[in-house]
């Protein structure tokens, strides 16, 4: 069973080199729009077939839009744009900083308390990010200080992911106003994701239509592009989603978060095998420091057994 956990994060990591390959055939917004729209419609059709309805209540619309716009559209477009300028390993590594961003957002917006060891873990993680910033390629454009535009874009993607998951939590959690004898369940995760992917995908396609700048064909080679899109949809939208939910029933969230530290390592391996990308000592230094910070952060917030 433990092998399934690392298989999950290997599949998560595989999406990064696949994304890097996808944007060689089309624009980031179109790649996101097509994959998310098709996946979302399939999820809605499946939910409607299984449950006979895909209705949502009006009160769910704000949280749904938050998830669709930030969690689907902004996150994925920024990620694929970054992959045009950064290696899959570095892009995945920056994306993996989301636990720290989650903690800071929860602390600032929801007044959640952080323990001393958690603060130390966050500080170590932030400083651990610095060596990776020294590893810049010629494709990375300078922006603010020592941060490049692709790095800023990925930090934005990580932040948008966190804010999008706030929308998901509001949609799927049980209502506190329900009576004890008749608990009111939240929206099904499949239904929430189906709508969010459909809406987010439509926004991305609208982005392509109104703001896309291209002097050539939208897709330079159809068959390789379709194969990559099918692989990304199968891996990211269906297998990873279901497998993660299954494993969360058997392992604690803390254990899953710590196992997720292997994702940048898998991304570096796949980037090397599939794209011929090499990583420097600064990347491995950052991975080690940030992993230590995340370990301290998660252990500091949970005194129970990991698994």
Residue 215 class from Cβ within 10 Å (0-12 exposed, 13-18 middle, 19+ buried)? exposed
Q: Which whole-number Å values give the CA distances from 227 to 89, 221, 224, 232, in the listed order?
A: 22, 11, 5, 9
Measured distance CA(93)–CA(164) in Å, rounded: 19
Q: What is the pLDDT of residue 143?
A: 56
Measured distance CA(176)–CA(238) in Å, rounded: 30
* pLDDT tens digits in sequence order for the chain, 307 residues long: 788 988 999 999 999 999 999 999 999 999 999 999 999 999 999 999 999 989 998 899 999 999 999 999 999 999 999 999 889 999 998 888 887 787 787 777 666 777 888 888 888 888 887 787 776 654 555 555 567 889 899 999 999 988 988 888 888 875 445 445 545 567 888 899 999 999 999 999 999 988 876 666 889 999 999 999 999 999 988 888 778 867 877 876 667 767 777 888 899 999 999 999 888 888 888 888 888 887 887 777 654 444 4
- For the chain, the domains span 2-301
SS3 88: helix
Q: Which residues on adjacent β-strands are paired with residue 144? A: 147
Measured distance CA(150)–CA(157) in Å, rounded: 10
Q: What is the pLDDT of residue 305?
A: 43
Task: Tell me which DSSP letter residue 178 carries.
Answer: S
- pTM, two decimal places: 0.85
Q: What is the pLDDT of residue 304?
A: 47
Total H helices, total E strands in the chain:
15, 2
Q: What is the pLDDT of residue 198?
A: 97
Q: Which residues on adjacent β-strands are paired with residue 142? A: 148
């Amino acid at each position: 069973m433990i092998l399934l956990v690392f298989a999950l994060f290997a599949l998560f990591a595989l999406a990064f080199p696949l994304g890097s390959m996808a944007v060689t055939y089309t624009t980031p917004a179109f790649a996101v729009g097509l994959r998310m729209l098709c996946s979302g419609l399939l999820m809605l059709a499946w939910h409607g077939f299984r449950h006979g309805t895909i209705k949502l209540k009006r009160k769910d619309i704000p949280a749904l839009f938050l998830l669709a716009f930030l969690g689907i559209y902004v996150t994925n477009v920024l990620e694929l744009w970054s992959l045009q300028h950064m290696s899959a390993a570095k892009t995945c590594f920056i994306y993996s900083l989301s636990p720290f961003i989650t903690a800071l957002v929860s602390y600032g917006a929801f007044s959640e308390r952080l323990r001393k060891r958690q603060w130390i873990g966050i500080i170590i993680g932030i400083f651990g990010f610095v060596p990776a910033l020294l590893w810049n390629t010629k494709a990375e454009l300078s922006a603010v200080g020592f941060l490049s535009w692709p790095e800023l874009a990925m930090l934005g993607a990580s932040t948008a992911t966190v804010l999008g998951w706030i929308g998901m939590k509001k949609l799927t959690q049980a209502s506190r106003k329900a009576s004890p004898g008749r608990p009111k369940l939240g929206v099904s995760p499949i239904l929430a994701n189906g709508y969010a992917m459909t809406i987010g995908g439509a926004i991305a396609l609208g982005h392509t239509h109104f703001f896309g700048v291209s002097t050539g064909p939208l897709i330079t080679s159809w068959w390789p592009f379709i194969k990559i899109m099918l692989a990304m949809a199968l891996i990211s939208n269906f297998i990873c989603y279901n497998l993660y939910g299954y494993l969360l029933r058997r392992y604690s969230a803390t254990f899953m978060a710590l196992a997720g530290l292997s994702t940048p390592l898998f991304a570096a391996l796949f980037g090397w095998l599939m794209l011929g990308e090499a990583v420097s000592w600064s990347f491995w230094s950052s991975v080690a420091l940030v992993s230590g910070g995340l370990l301290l952060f998660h252990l500091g917030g949970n005194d129970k057994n990991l698994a």
